[in-house]
């Protein structure tokens, strides 16, 4: 006599064979693998979420907001959590007892979009005592990074540089936005890992400028120039050094650093200046540098060189560009940050180093807390004259 289980098995066997023959087993296996992968991913996310939640649960808000090491750990864990988990972390921070300033600091660390929007808006309007949060800026989730860049895009044109007395204690609004942009874009990664960096550094540099040309300032109000134009200006400075070297051999020891908004794709060609530093930081001949060059003398010499090398019928864009630019000279940070390293590594991280015999593209690490004096994280020599 056939039992009920035997009958059931006899009925299911043909169905199972048909299912396997139709590829169902492979589909079932794939579904099982996919489910396991998703479970594993959720598990990993949850692990980081639990770490972040534990930090929030075991540390009062006020001391936590001042502990950079612990905030770094919290940012690392929050960055690897899912969007829903980050929303839960934000809710937890909002419910904690403490000052608004402490709450805002920790909310930025768990990547709360509303707080980041407020922070960028305050930067653009009033400036800040300092631009904090380097760890979380380096870990921004993609959707938050896109939102920050869009917000900066809307605010940049109206942000002011502030007066000099104010800037000695505050980071001016526009410089604030510059720092946030530099962290969000990550120029060191963008340029140093560019596919053409070894064969065509100009193309790698242009990929950085293109971010501002096409994304930040698509209306052409700023950044409406390319890397080759910046390189052409650098070569004019180099020719000036070569001429001076024939009169004064000491010039061979000097480096002209060209930096600021122009080199970093944020200038208006009609009105912006070009920041020039003539101090060789290795030898620090400050006095000699200022005896050799003055802003007006350098400007006049470069414009004269342009008129000689580029007649009216040739390279008109470059001639107009040079005529409209004023070349600043500085042996310091022009009160735009606490020190020269801060200005050129966090606000404007790309520079062009010009010597009589070489021109280098130099990129600083915006995420490094204490960069060495004018020591770039990446350097590439631009094509010879």
Structure tokens belonging to residue 20: 């396997």
Residues 248, 226: Cα–Cα separation, whole Å: 33
- DSSP string spanning 67-86? -HHHHHHHHHHHHTS-HHHH
Are the C-beta atoms of residues 111 and 79 closer than 8 Å to each other?
yes
**HSE (CB half, 13 Å, CA atoms) of 360?**
17
| Residue tagged 């006899």 (tokens) | 10
* Residue from 233, 219, 206 nearest 326 by CA: 233
Q: Where are the domains of the chain?
A: 44-190, 196-381
Q: CA distances (Å), 278 to each of 111, 155, 213, 302, 354, in order?
A: 41, 33, 28, 15, 10
Alpha-carbon span 164 to 336, nearest angstrom: 8
Beta bridge partners of 351: 362
- Beta strands 358-363 and 378-381 are antiparallel
| Number of other CB atoms surrounding residue 377 within 10 Å | 18
Convert the pLDDT of each residue in 246-258 to its tens digit: 887 777 877 788 8
List CB contacts of 145: < 8 A, sequence separation 6 or more.
184
Per-residue pLDDT of the chain (385 residues; tens, 9 = 90+): 555 545 444 444 444 444 444 444 444 344 444 443 444 444 455 899 999 999 999 999 999 999 989 999 999 999 999 999 999 999 999 999 999 999 999 999 999 999 999 999 998 988 877 666 667 888 889 889 989 999 998 998 888 876 544 445 577 888 888 888 888 888 999 999 999 989 999 999 999 999 988 888 888 888 888 999 889 888 888 888 888 788 877 778 777 888 888 899 988 877 777 777 655 444 444 434 445 555 566 667 666 766 676 655 555 555 556 665 555 555 443 333 345 555 666 788 899 998 999 999 999 888 775 555 567 889 999 987 5
In the structure encoding, which two tokens stand for residue 1, read together?
A: 């006599």
- The pLDDT tens digits for 215-262 are 888 888 888 889 998 898 888 888 888 887 888 777 787 778 888 888
Concatenate the DSSP letters of all residues of 114-173 into one string.
HHHHHHHHHHHHH-BS----HHHHHT--HHHHHHHHHHHHHHGGG-----HHHHTTSB-H
Listed in sequence order, the residues at least 6 apart from 15 whose beta carbon sits closer than 8 Å to its beta carbon are none
The interaxial angle of helices 113-126 and 173-185, nearest 10 deg, is 140
Backbone φ/ψ region at 376: left (φ over 0), alpha (ψ -120 to 50), beta: beta
pTM: predicted TM-score of the whole model, two decimal places: 0.75
Look-up of token digits 């280098």: 360
Dihedral sign (CA 159, 160, 165, 171):
positive
**Which residues, at least 6 apart from 79, have a Cβ–Cβ distance to it below 8 Å?**
111, 136, 139, 140, 141
């Amino acid at each position: 006599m056939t039992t009920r289980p035997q009958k059931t098995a006899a009925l299911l066997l043909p169905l199972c064979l048909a299912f396997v023959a139709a590829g169902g087993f492979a589909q079932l296996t794939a579904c099982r693998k996919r489910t396991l992968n998703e479970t594993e991913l959720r598990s990993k996310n949850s692990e980081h979420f639990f770490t972040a939640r534990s930090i929030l649960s075991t540390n009062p808000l006020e001391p936590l907001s001042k502990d950079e090491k612990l905030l770094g750990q919290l940012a690392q864990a929050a960055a690897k959590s899912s969007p829903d988990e980050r929303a839960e972390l934000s809710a937890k921070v909002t419910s904690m007892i403490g000052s608004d300033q402490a709450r805002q600091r920790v909310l930025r660390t768990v990547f709360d979009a509303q707080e980041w929007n407020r922070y960028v808006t305050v930067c653009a309007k009033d400036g800040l005592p300092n631009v904090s949060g380097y760890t979380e800026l380096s870990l921004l989730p993609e959707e938050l990074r896109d939102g920050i860049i869009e917000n900066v895009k809307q605010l940049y044109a109206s942000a002011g540089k502030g007066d000099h007395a104010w800037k000695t204690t505050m980071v001016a609004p526009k410089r604030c936005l510059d720092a946030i942009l530099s962290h969000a874009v990550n120029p060191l990664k963008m340029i140093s890992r560019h596919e053409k960096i070894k064969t065509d550094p100009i193309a790698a540099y242009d990929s950085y400028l293109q971010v501002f040309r096409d994304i930040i300032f698509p209306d052409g109000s700023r950044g409406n120039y390319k890397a080759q134009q910046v390189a052409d200006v650098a070569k004019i400075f180099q020719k000036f050094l070569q001429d001076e070297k024939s009169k004064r051999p000491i010039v061979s020891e000097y480096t002209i650093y060209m930096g600021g908004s122009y080199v970093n794709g944020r200038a208006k060609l009609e009105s912006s200046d070009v920041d020039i530093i003539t101090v060789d930081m290795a030898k620090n001949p400050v006095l000699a540098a200022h005896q050799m060059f003055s802003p007006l003398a350098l400007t006049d010499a470069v414009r004269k060189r342009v008129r000689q090398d580029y007649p009216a019928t040739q390279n008109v864009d470059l001639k107009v560009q040079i005529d409209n630019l004023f070349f600043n000279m500085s042996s310091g940070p022009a009160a735009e940050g606490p020190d020269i390293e801060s200005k050129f590594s966090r606000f404007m991280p790309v520079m062009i180093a010009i010597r009589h015999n070489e021109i280098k593209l130099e990129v600083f690490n915006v995420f490094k807390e204490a960069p060495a004096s004018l020591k770039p994280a990446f350097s590439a020599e631009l094509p010879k004259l």
